[in-house]
Amino acid sequence: MPQRHVEPAPVDSTAVFKNDIFKGKVLFCTGGGSGICKAMTEAVMRHGAHAAIVGRKLDRLQASAEELAAATGNQCLPVQADVRNPKLLQEAVAKTVEKFGRIDFVICGAAGNFLAPISKLSENGFRTVIEIDTLGTYNTIKATLPHLRASKGSYIHVSATLHYRGTPYQVHVSAAKAAVDATSAVLAVEEGPHGVRSNVIAPGPIAGTEGMDRLSAKGPAAQDYASFVPLGRDGDVRDIANVTVFLFSDAARFITGQIFPVDGGCEHLRTLPLPYPESVVDPEAVTKMIKPRL
């Protein structure tokens, strides 16, 4: 029987793009202390930019900032702030500008998620994800927009593919990310005449991330996601990082208001994290497959 193609691991962006394309630029990234957003930040820094990473846990931010600076040779400023608090975000932006003098790129990446059916999801749980993902994105835009107008800069919003169809146990994040996508589109239209671009990256399942650990089913009945990816492997944080470098680069200067799913094509063979319809008929039957909310 012929063997299926398995896409090789991604190359680092430095193998494709010049190392100095972001020299003199400054990145402001929410959620940059870990996971996908940390990898996105590292990639941009490897091409010459300095960065500020924003999050709620200062110890994690400080450790990540040291790692990023050591790996790239550029400066990384850790700034503690909660994206749900506009005042704290404004202060984070002020600290970034005080340190680096400008902001050119913004990654709106702070997010929250967990698995829960509507019947078991509390109003507070739903509200919390909306506040972090949707309001957090809005607050980040409001705090940084004057600086991106000045630099003719660019936004990338980290979204998801969950809301393209109905995904059980994901109503909260589906609603939040649909709003993020819509916000980016309006931002692109309103701010294009000011020279500001806005695009969305929608990661699919990315191996080794906290999000994948929370959302993938556990136990013997759990599915192997890679087997359902047309390109034959799990996603890697470098896949997201490489698209980030492209979208912030001058090669993408005529691209705005777009959504870029990065999932190896698996959205077209939509698989669910939990058995269907068993998981919605009897939620108690799949509790052992769900990691508790972090």
Question: What are the strands of the beta sheet with 26-30, ordered from one edge?
Answer: 76-80, 50-55, 26-30, 105-108, 154-158, 197-203, 259-262
Instruction: With a cut of 70, say whether residue 209 has pLDDT above it.
Output: no
Distance in angstroms (rounded) separating the CA atoms of residues 169 and 278? 12
Catalytic one of 64, 177, 184, 216: 177
Catalytic one of 13, 34, 154, 159: 159
Q: Is residue 221 very low, low, confident or very high in pLDDT (cuts 50, 70, 90)? A: very low
Instruction: With a cut of 50, say whether residue 294 has pLDDT above it.
Output: no
List the domain boundaries for the chain. Answer: 20-289
CATH of 20-289, one of 3.40.50.720, 3.40.190.10, 3.40.50.2300, 3.50.7.10: 3.40.50.720
- 136-151 and 171-191 helices, crossing angle to 10°: 20
Instruction: With a cut of 80, say whether residue 288 has pLDDT above it.
Output: no
Q: Is residue 279 very low, low, confident or very high in pLDDT (cuts 50, 70, 90)? A: confident
Which one, of 238, 269, 207, lies nearest residue 9 by Cα?
238
**pLDDT cut 70: percent of the chain above it:** 93
Tell which wins on pLDDT, 274 or 164: 164
Q: Is residue 211 very low, low, confident or very high in pLDDT (cuts 50, 70, 90)? A: low
Q: What is the pLDDT at residue 6?
A: 87
Distance in angstroms (rounded) separating the CA atoms of residues 262 and 202? 6
Is residue 159 annotated as part of the catalytic site, yes or no? Answer: yes
Q: What pLDDT digit, counting tens, does each position of 9-61 carry?
A: 889 999 999 999 999 999 999 999 999 999 999 999 999 999 999 999 999 99
Q: pTM for this structure?
A: 0.92
